[in-house]
């Protein structure tokens, strides 16, 4: 049921927030593969469709604004784990991305719209906003002998991003297909992912 809002006395910020919230609800309800129609966003928010274009100009701009809303919190949660050992650090990243899975869906839609919309320079949202720090942490892991020295670190980064983001996108559908509560599936997937990470570590670091 659309969340109706009154226009009387409503300022631009409130309308923009209502549209961003509506976009998030539609993504949660319909999933990434259903796309995001601006007409549906306006109807869900209870505002005139013209306001979407007036305030945002495009679907991409609306998605980018919604993605920025808690960017500092998300990036901070990932950055806080930088000093953890390899396996624990990547599992913390997995838990964080799973928690913020709706934002991963936003990035996916932005990628479908235009690669430049995600990887733009400056203040725009990025698929891997702390990639440089992550790769540097992998370098230090190898130098300390914590992960095998013959592992290509760019490849390792790509594999981890793909696995974690893919699960975040399809988590709810996978849980439905398995006829299992999503939080129970999270536990099972994390256990398997942890074993995969152990296999990347050198012998002395494996549990």
Average pLDDT, integer, range 145-149 = 90
Calculate the average pLDDT of the chain: 81
Q: Any idea where the domains of the chain sit in the sequence?
A: 12-66, 70-205
| 150 Cβ contact list (under 8 Å, min separation 6) | none
Backbone angles phi, psi at 201, to 5 degrees: -85, 155
pLDDT at 189 over 80: yes
DSSP 147: B
Is 12-66 a CATH 1.10.10.60 domain?
A: yes
Cα–Cα distance, 91 to 33 (Å, whole number):
27
Cα–Cα distance, 198 to 30 (Å, whole number):
36
Q: Which helix (H) or strand (E) holds 133?
A: helix 131-143
For Cα atoms 179, 182, 185, give the angle at the middle one, nearest 5 degrees.
80
Cα–Cα distance, 30 to 28 (Å, whole number):
6
Residue-wise pLDDT tens digits, 1-16: 555 445 444 578 888 8
Give the pLDDT band of residue 187 (cuts 50, 70, 90).
very high
pLDDT at 133 over 90: no
The reported pLDDT for the residue numbered 88 is 93
- 101, 74 contact by CB (below 8 A): no
């Amino acid at each position: 049921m659309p969340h109706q809002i009154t226009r009387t006395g409503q300022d631009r910020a409130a309308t923009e927030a209502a549209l961003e919230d509506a976009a998030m609800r539609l993504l949660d309800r319909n999933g990434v593969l259903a796309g995001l129609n601006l007409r549906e966003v306006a109807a869900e928010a209870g505002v005139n469709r013209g306001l979407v274009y007036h305030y945002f100009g495009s679907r991409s701009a609306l998605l980018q604004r919604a993605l920025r809303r808690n960017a500092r919190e998300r990036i901070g949660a990932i950055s806080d784990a930088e000093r953890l050992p390899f396996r624990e650090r990547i599992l913390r990243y997995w838990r964080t991305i799973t928690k913020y899975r709706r934002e991963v869906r936003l990035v996916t839609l932005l990628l479908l719209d235009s690669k430049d919309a995600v990887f733009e320079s400056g203040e725009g949202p990025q698929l891997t906003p702390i990639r440089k720090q992550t790769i540097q942490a992998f370098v230090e892991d190898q130098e300390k002998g914590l992960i095998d020295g013959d592992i290509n670190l760019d490849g390792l980064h790509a594999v981890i991003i793909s696995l974690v983001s893919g699960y975040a996108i399809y988590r709810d559908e996978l849980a439905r297909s398995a006829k299992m509560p999503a939080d129970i599936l999270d536990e099972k997937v994390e256990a398997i992912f942890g074993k995969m990470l152990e296999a990347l570590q050198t012998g002395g670091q494996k549990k």
